[in-house]
Amino acid sequence: MSSAPPDTRIGHVHLKVSDLARSVAFYRAVIGLEVTQYFGDEAAFLSAGGYHHHLGLNTWMSRGTTPGPKRQPGLFHTAFLFPDRASLGAALKRAHAYGVEIEGAADHGVSEAVYFSDPDGNGIEIYRDRAPEDWPRDGDGGLAMVNAPLDLEALLAEAG
């Protein structure tokens, strides 16, 4: 069996949404993405740092619909990696200001993560990675990830 090259990455995600304007407003205000292009009133493409798009939002099959059942196969969440703890704290601060309900938060040892949903019920993780040399290891040198509580107040205090 052949392996993907080590520099292979997930490049972008496209989500079906029910209300394009509402979803664009959410991802701009909470995650901090910028619109790079609209495709009529049916789709929008958003990014960070001027990339063509990290996130595509479309209403091609979902305009005006309600979220599907949580307990069915599908995308669990889209994860947005922030470069450091201060920028993760700032994203959490924006989420609070927008009225987002935080559904979970964890210190995984390798990363710190906060979980919530967008207006259509699509799962979102905002997180920051620790440096690989700081990752917890077991006795054999393998990863020893954990699911410890994350102090959200301390994270918010680091927001820029």
The number of distinct structural domains making up the chain is 2
**pTM across the whole model:** 0.92
Residue 57 belongs to domain with CATH number: 3.10.180.10
117 in Cβ contact with 126 (< 8 Å) = no
Verify that 81 and 121 share a domain, yes or no. yes
pLDDT in tens, 51-102: 989 999 999 999 999 888 888 888 889 999 999 999 999 999 999 999 999 9
| Domain range enclosing 153 | 76-160
* Count of residues in the chain: 160
Verify that 95 and 160 share a domain, yes or no. yes
Contacts with 133 (C-beta within 8 Å, 6 or more apart), sequence order: none
Residue in the structure block whose two tokens are 């820029």? 160
Query: Which residue among 26, 43, 64 closes a domain?
Result: 64
